[in-house]
């Protein structure tokens, strides 16, 4: 049996050769690959559900929505538009280039590395693969070792659908990722934390490899006093506690206008009970609530809660932890201050801190004083309020009067800004991320607009240059 280092070397070499061969791959060839992937997913939905559920008890319906549907809709959207995406895009010819023709030709970057996270292990491994294949690349996927059942399923999927010189899966822990990063990939797509993202970018810099970094950060939700509290609460509860809060674009904390704070707390409590405790047997008994991925992350979240409470935070709902099954109850806390650890790092779990503000400028200033988040959410009956907050802050994406849903909008680019990420994904924007936008210009033989500027530079050249500077 091959050792991992030899496997990486062998597969990378195979894909380098294949990437050159399929540089001119037609639409039909790419459609064939994507269709084969789509059919496998449709035929093995139960296997996908079982694998993800085995890793952290994610509810089947939640798996269908946030793992399977996201990938199949991405494939269907791509299949519908791929032909038009691949066509050269003509650009206008300026007067100074009269006689020539120019266009932008999208070509595959080559051999790509996809490093997937554990929180949405199927979706965030195969979503980028769809874009990579659509753009004509080969790809190596490194799934997360924290979700071994799903990683094994992805390896099986790729082995049954693709030749390894086109798509391969290499499993392993940190040292495997480090070994992969030593290779001169043509593009790296990484989803994970900003801290690890910096390491990925450093490794990519050694080979001047382009990167897409889908990171995270503390995504705020700003709640105005002019709001439908019941509507806002239900959307916040769903967006925050789906996948047990382990979502990069989940609302990380609430900024609530003081006048509606108490009413919002009660509305959130009601929504939590309605969604996760309808039978009054306790949230832990709910089949619709996932678990924390492992004990290490459970302990980290427990420490965040303990630190906040020790510094004066009040638990409004939840707080129960059961280490035996990595259960962390949905937890809402108020009286939160900036010096608490929970406000210093991305929570990535079912802890929802609430801070108050009097005037909207206070909330805006607080957001702008911190690293740019991956997402920002506003809730208000006033369109001007929502637009003001979105325009006055910087974030990877933003949603007014809902949260998380923009990830499912295939026509929108998805990604962060600065600390929350580099580059965009999904649909056409994912296709672009894995493509080189080659500038192509075609000139007629014996004709060039720049000939008067050839040396030796005389009076004519000076006149031409003077005209260019004046009129163009």
Q: Which helix (H) or strand (E) holds 440?
A: strand 435-442
Q: How far apart are CA 407 and CA 335, in angstroms?
A: 31
Q: How far apart are CA 212 and CA 190, in angstroms?
A: 6
| Active-site hit among 74, 214, 346, 356 | 214
Q: Which residue has the tokens 């039978």?
A: 279
Q: How far apart are CA 60 and CA 255, in angstroms?
A: 32
Does the annotation count 112 as an active-site position? no
Among 21, 107, 56, 197, smallest CA distance to 434 is for: 107
Task: Tell me the CB-side half-sphere exposure of residue 315, using CA atoms within 13 A.
Answer: 17
Encoded tokens for 325? 């099954």
| Active-site hit among 248, 316, 346, 403 | 248
Query: Vertex 459, ends 458 and 462: CA angle to 5°?
Result: 90
Query: Vertex 125, ends 121 and 127: CA angle to 5°?
Result: 115
Query: Taking each helix axis from N to C terminus, what angle separates 70-86 and 27-43, rounded to the nearest 10 degrees?
Result: 170
Q: 401 exposed, middle or buried (CB, 10 Å; 0-12, 13-18, 19+)?
A: middle
Bridging pattern class, strands 375-379 and 351-357:
unpaired
User: Per this entry, what is the length of the chain?
Assistant: 472
Q: 324 exposed, middle or buried (CB, 10 Å; 0-12, 13-18, 19+)?
A: exposed
User: Are 163 and 185 within 8 A, CB to CB?
Assistant: no
User: Are 95 and 472 within 8 A, CB to CB?
Assistant: yes
3-state secondary structure of 357: strand
User: Are 397 and 375 within 8 A, CB to CB?
Assistant: yes
Where does 69-219 show beta strands of DSSP type E?
89-91, 101-108, 111-115, 138-142, 167-169, 187-191, 210-214
Does the annotation count 214 as an active-site position? yes
Encoded tokens for 105? 């030709």
Whether cis (ω within 30° of 0) applies to the bond prior to 459 is: no
Give the residue numbers annotated as catalytic, written as ranges.
Answer: 214, 248
């Amino acid at each position: 049996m091959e050792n991992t280092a030899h496997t990486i070397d062998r597969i990378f070499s195979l894909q380098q050769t294949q990437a050159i061969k399929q540089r001119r791959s037609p639409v039909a060839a790419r459609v064939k690959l994507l269709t084969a992937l789509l059919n496998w997913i449709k035929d093995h939905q139960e296997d996908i559900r079982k694998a993800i559920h085995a890793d952290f008890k994610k509810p089947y319906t939640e798996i269908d929505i946030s793992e399977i549907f996201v990938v199949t809709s991405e494939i269907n959207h791509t299949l519908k538009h791929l032909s038009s995406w691949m066509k050269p895009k003509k650009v206008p010819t300026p007067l100074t280039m009269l006689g020539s023709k120019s266009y932008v030709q999208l070509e595959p970057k080559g051999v790509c590395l996809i490093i997937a996270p554990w929180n949405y292990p199927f979706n965030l491994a195969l979503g980028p693969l769809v874009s990579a294949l659509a753009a004509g690349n080969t790809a190596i996927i490194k799934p997360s070792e924290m979700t071994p059942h799903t990683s094994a399923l992805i390896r099986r999927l790729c082995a049954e659908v693709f030749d390894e010189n086109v798509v391969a899966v290499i499993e392993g822990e940190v040292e495997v990722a480090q070994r992969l990063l030593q290779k001169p990939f043509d593009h790296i797509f990484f989803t994970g934390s900003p801290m690890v993202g910096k390491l990925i970018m450093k490794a990519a810099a050694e080979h001047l490899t382009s990167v897409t970094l889908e990171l995270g950060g503390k995504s705020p939700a700003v709640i105005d006093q002019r709001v439908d509290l019941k509507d806002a609460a239900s959307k916040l509860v769903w967006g925050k506690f789906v996948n047990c809060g382990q979502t990069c674009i989940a609302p990380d904390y609430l900024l609530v206008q003081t006048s509606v704070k108490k009413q919002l707390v009660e509305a959130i409590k009601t929504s939590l009970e309605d969604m996760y405790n309808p039978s009054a047997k306790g949230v832990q008994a709910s089949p619709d609530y996932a678990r924390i991925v492992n004990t290490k992350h459970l302990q980290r979240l427990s420490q965040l809660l303990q630190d906040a409470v020790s510094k004066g935070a009040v638990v409004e709902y939840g707080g129960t932890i059961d280490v035996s099954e990595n259960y962390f109850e949905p937890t809402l806390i108020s009286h939160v201050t900036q010096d608490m650890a929970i406000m210093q790092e991305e929570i990535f779990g079912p802890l929802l801190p609430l801070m108050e503000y009097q005037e909207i400028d206070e909330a805006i200033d607080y957001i702008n004083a911190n690293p740019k988040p991956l997402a920002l959410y506003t809730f208000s009956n006033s369109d001007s309020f929502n637009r003001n907050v979105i325009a006055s802050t910087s974030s990877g994406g933003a949603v007014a009067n809902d949260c998380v849903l923009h990830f499912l909008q295939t026509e929108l680019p998805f990604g962060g800004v600065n600390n929350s990420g580099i580059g965009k994904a999904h649909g056409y924007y994912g296709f672009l991320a894995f493509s080189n936008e080659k500038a192509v210009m075609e000139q007629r033989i014996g004709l060039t607009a720049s000939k008067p500027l050839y040396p030796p530079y005389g009076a004519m050249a000076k006149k031409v240059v003077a005209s260019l500077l004046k009129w163009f």
